[in-house]
Amino acid sequence: MEARDPELRRELDATLQARRELGPEYESALVDSFLEKVESRIAGTRDQRARRVAAERRTAAARGARPVAPAATFGERFAFGAVSLVLAVPLSAIGAAQAGTGGLVVAWLGIVGVNAVHAARTGPWARGRRRTPSEWDD
């Protein structure tokens, strides 16, 4: 499997190596550190995408075209689901270790909730919805 982000892959390898060297007592801190790096990378990507969309809308407005909200592609939806499942493993472990079954349930309710909101915003049905008259002049 080819890594899409070699830097993030190196960070993961370094985190796993540190876990082997330091032992399980530092696992929580190592996982938190790696998750912060992943969240930072996601935030950067999200900011870059938002700037691109804003530029596309400005260009469309300058040309007199009506801006269209971008729909998520299958790849974006698949990647979101895959990332959420990958992050579910450490979140489940932390939730179960800290609060038992209740923590595990809360972690998975959060994961399912985030995925449900994402699906509702980017699913194929969101593109074909009918517009109300109040949205016509936007």
> Percent helix, strand and coil across the chain, each rounded to 5?
80, 0, 20
Q: How far apart (Å, rounded) are the C-alpha atoms in residues 6 and 41?
A: 12
Q: How far is CA 34 from CA 42, 52, 104, in A?
A: 12, 27, 20
> Cβ distance 44 to 99 under 8 Å?
no
Q: Look at the pTM and tell me if it is higher than 0.85.
A: no
| Domain range summary for the chain, segments of one domain joined by + | 1-70, 72-129
The dihedral sign for the CA sequence 120, 121, 127, 133: positive
Q: How far is CA 85 from CA 18, 20, 34, 82, in A?
A: 23, 23, 16, 5
Per-residue pLDDT of the chain (138 residues; tens, 9 = 90+): 455 778 888 888 888 888 888 888 888 888 888 888 888 888 888 888 888 988 888 888 788 765 455 566 778 888 888 899 899 999 999 999 999 999 999 999 999 999 888 888 876 555 555 444 554 444
**Under DSSP, is residue 79 helix (H, G, I), strand (E, B) or coil?**
helix
